[in-house]
Protein backbone atom coordinates (compact mmCIF):
# COMPACT_ATOMS: atom_id res chain seq x y z
CA UNK A 1 0.00 0.00 0.00
CA UNK A 2 1.50 3.29 -1.11
CA UNK A 3 1.02 6.35 1.09
CA UNK A 4 0.65 9.80 -0.44
CA UNK A 5 3.88 11.84 -0.54
CA UNK A 6 5.05 13.74 2.53
CA UNK A 7 7.01 17.00 2.30
CA UNK A 8 8.30 18.12 5.70
CA UNK A 9 10.73 20.73 6.99
CA UNK A 10 13.41 18.97 9.02
CA UNK A 11 14.95 20.05 12.31
CA UNK A 12 17.39 22.91 11.74
CA UNK A 13 21.09 22.12 11.55
CA UNK A 14 23.46 24.32 9.53
CA UNK A 15 20.67 25.36 7.16
CA UNK A 16 17.02 24.66 6.51
CA UNK A 17 16.34 21.27 4.95
CA UNK A 18 13.25 19.50 3.71
CA UNK A 19 12.44 15.86 3.07
CA UNK A 20 10.08 14.47 0.50
CA UNK A 21 9.20 10.86 1.26
CA UNK A 22 6.90 8.34 -0.36
CA UNK A 23 6.59 5.34 1.97
CA UNK A 24 5.10 2.05 0.84
CA UNK A 25 3.79 -0.54 3.28
CA UNK A 26 4.29 -4.30 3.04
CA UNK A 27 1.15 -5.65 4.68
CA UNK A 28 0.56 -8.99 6.38
CA UNK A 29 -2.48 -9.55 4.15
CA UNK A 30 -4.99 -7.58 2.10
CA UNK A 31 -7.45 -7.25 5.00
CA UNK A 32 -4.96 -4.87 6.62
CA UNK A 33 -5.32 -2.49 3.66
CA UNK A 34 -8.86 -1.62 4.78
CA UNK A 35 -7.60 -0.91 8.31
CA UNK A 36 -4.87 1.33 6.94
CA UNK A 37 -7.45 3.29 4.93
CA UNK A 38 -9.70 3.64 7.98
CA UNK A 39 -6.85 5.04 10.11
CA UNK A 40 -5.17 7.07 7.33
CA UNK A 41 -5.63 10.53 8.94
CA UNK A 42 -4.01 9.34 12.19
CA UNK A 43 -1.30 7.43 10.30
CA UNK A 44 -0.40 10.48 8.18
CA UNK A 45 -0.31 12.67 11.30
CA UNK A 46 2.05 10.31 13.12
CA UNK A 47 4.34 9.91 10.09
CA UNK A 48 4.49 13.70 9.75
CA UNK A 49 5.49 13.99 13.43
CA UNK A 50 8.22 11.37 12.97
CA UNK A 51 9.60 13.13 9.88
CA UNK A 52 9.41 16.59 11.49
CA UNK A 53 11.57 15.31 14.35
CA UNK A 54 14.42 14.33 12.04
CA UNK A 55 17.53 16.21 10.94
CA UNK A 56 19.02 15.92 7.47
CA UNK A 57 22.01 14.10 8.99
CA UNK A 58 19.62 11.49 10.46
CA UNK A 59 18.59 10.54 6.92
CA UNK A 60 21.97 10.75 5.21
CA UNK A 61 22.93 7.08 5.69
CA UNK A 62 21.29 3.78 4.77
CA UNK A 63 21.01 2.92 8.49
CA UNK A 64 19.32 6.26 9.18
CA UNK A 65 16.80 5.55 6.44
CA UNK A 66 16.20 2.04 7.82
CA UNK A 67 15.68 3.47 11.31
CA UNK A 68 13.08 5.86 9.89
CA UNK A 69 11.33 2.97 8.13
CA UNK A 70 11.33 0.98 11.38
CA UNK A 71 9.90 3.94 13.34
CA UNK A 72 7.09 4.39 10.81
CA UNK A 73 6.35 0.64 10.84
CA UNK A 74 6.16 0.53 14.65
CA UNK A 75 4.01 3.67 14.77
CA UNK A 76 1.50 2.38 12.21
CA UNK A 77 1.30 -1.04 13.87
CA UNK A 78 0.64 0.64 17.21
CA UNK A 79 -2.07 2.79 15.63
CA UNK A 80 -3.76 -0.25 14.09
CA UNK A 81 -3.58 -2.28 17.31
CA UNK A 82 -4.52 0.55 19.68
CA UNK A 83 -1.40 -0.19 21.75
CA UNK A 84 1.34 2.33 22.58
CA UNK A 85 4.40 2.08 20.31
CA UNK A 86 7.26 -0.03 21.67
CA UNK A 87 10.56 1.81 21.04
CA UNK A 88 12.49 -1.47 21.38
CA UNK A 89 10.84 -2.70 18.16
CA UNK A 90 12.32 0.28 16.28
CA UNK A 91 15.76 -1.32 16.59
CA UNK A 92 14.54 -4.47 14.82
CA UNK A 93 14.57 -4.42 11.02
CA UNK A 94 12.09 -7.30 10.92
CA UNK A 95 8.55 -7.04 12.23
CA UNK A 96 6.81 -9.63 14.35
CA UNK A 97 5.49 -12.30 11.92
CA UNK A 98 1.90 -11.42 12.87
CA UNK A 99 2.27 -7.61 12.72
CA UNK A 100 -0.16 -5.90 10.31
CA UNK A 101 2.61 -3.86 8.67
CA UNK A 102 5.57 -6.10 7.97
CA UNK A 103 7.87 -3.44 6.51
CA UNK A 104 8.07 0.12 5.25
CA UNK A 105 9.94 0.83 2.04
CA UNK A 106 10.61 4.19 0.38
CA UNK A 107 9.88 4.46 -3.31
CA UNK A 108 11.33 7.97 -2.96
CA UNK A 109 13.22 9.81 -0.21
CA UNK A 110 14.77 13.15 -1.13
CA UNK A 111 16.48 15.46 1.35
CA UNK A 112 17.36 18.97 0.21
Residue 54: what pLDDT?
95
Q: How confident is the model at residue 85 (pLDDT cuts 50, 70, 90)?
A: very high
Residues with Cβ within 8 Å of 98's Cβ and at least 6 positions away in sequence, in order, are 28
Give tens-digit pLDDT for 9-37.
888 777 889 999 999 999 999 999 999 99
Stretch 68-77: mean pLDDT? 98
Residue 9: what pLDDT?
87
Radius of gyration (C-alpha) of the chain in whole angstroms: 14
CA separation for the pair 43, 28 (Å, rounded):
17
Judge contact between 28 and 1, C-beta under 8 A. Answer: no
Q: How confident is the model at residue 7 (pLDDT cuts 50, 70, 90)?
A: confident
Stretch 64-91: mean pLDDT? 96
Report CA dihedral (20, 25, 31, 35) to the nearest 10 degrees: -40
Residue 92: what pLDDT?
95
Amino acid sequence: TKLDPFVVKLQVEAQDAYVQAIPELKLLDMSVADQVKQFMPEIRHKVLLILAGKKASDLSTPQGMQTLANQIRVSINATLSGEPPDPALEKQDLADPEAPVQAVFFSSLIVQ
